Amino acid sequence: MPSAGSSSSGNIGLGFAIPSDQARRTADQLIATGKATHPIIGVLLDRRYSGEGALVQDMSDAVTPNAPADKAGVEPGDVIVRFEGKPIRTPDQLIVSIRSRAVGETVTLTVERDGKQIDLRMTLEADPEK
């Protein structure tokens, strides 16, 4: 993000790629229904966390009731360290990993809680606000 007071705009050197299967799935949904759905797990991540993984905020409302993460047992303060067995180093990496999957897929998250790693299975759901 540009810093406060910056007058620059446009490309700031950020590059990203959308996996082809995700682009195809989105295009197919748009053609079929006129809208696209994206999977969510229902957590608020702490973007200030500088350690490895994605920290679920340590607040009572950080895990959305009845969302996939809640149903799987994710708790505020958990650090998500793996998604489908692959290391998660940042919140953005977790988001990209989730978005690369389809609504309805069952996935495994590995969380660190109280010094232990726990595998949690969940079924991805569509964002109810989309």
Cβ count near 2 (within 10 Å): 9
The conformation of residue 3, written as its DSSP 8-state character, comes to: P
Closest by alpha carbon to 56, among 38, 66, 39, 70? Answer: 70
**Half-sphere exposure of 57 toward its Cβ, with a 13 Å CA cutoff?**
13
Closest by alpha carbon to 103, among 40, 59, 44? Answer: 40
Distance CA 35, CA 29 (A): 6
pLDDT tens per residue across span 70-123 = 999 999 999 999 999 999 999 999 998 998 888 999 999 999 999 999 999 999
pLDDT tens per residue across span 39-73 = 899 999 999 999 999 999 999 999 999 999 999 99
Strands 116-123 and 106-113: antiparallel
Region 9-16 average pLDDT: 46
6 band by pLDDT with thresholds 50, 70 and 90: very low
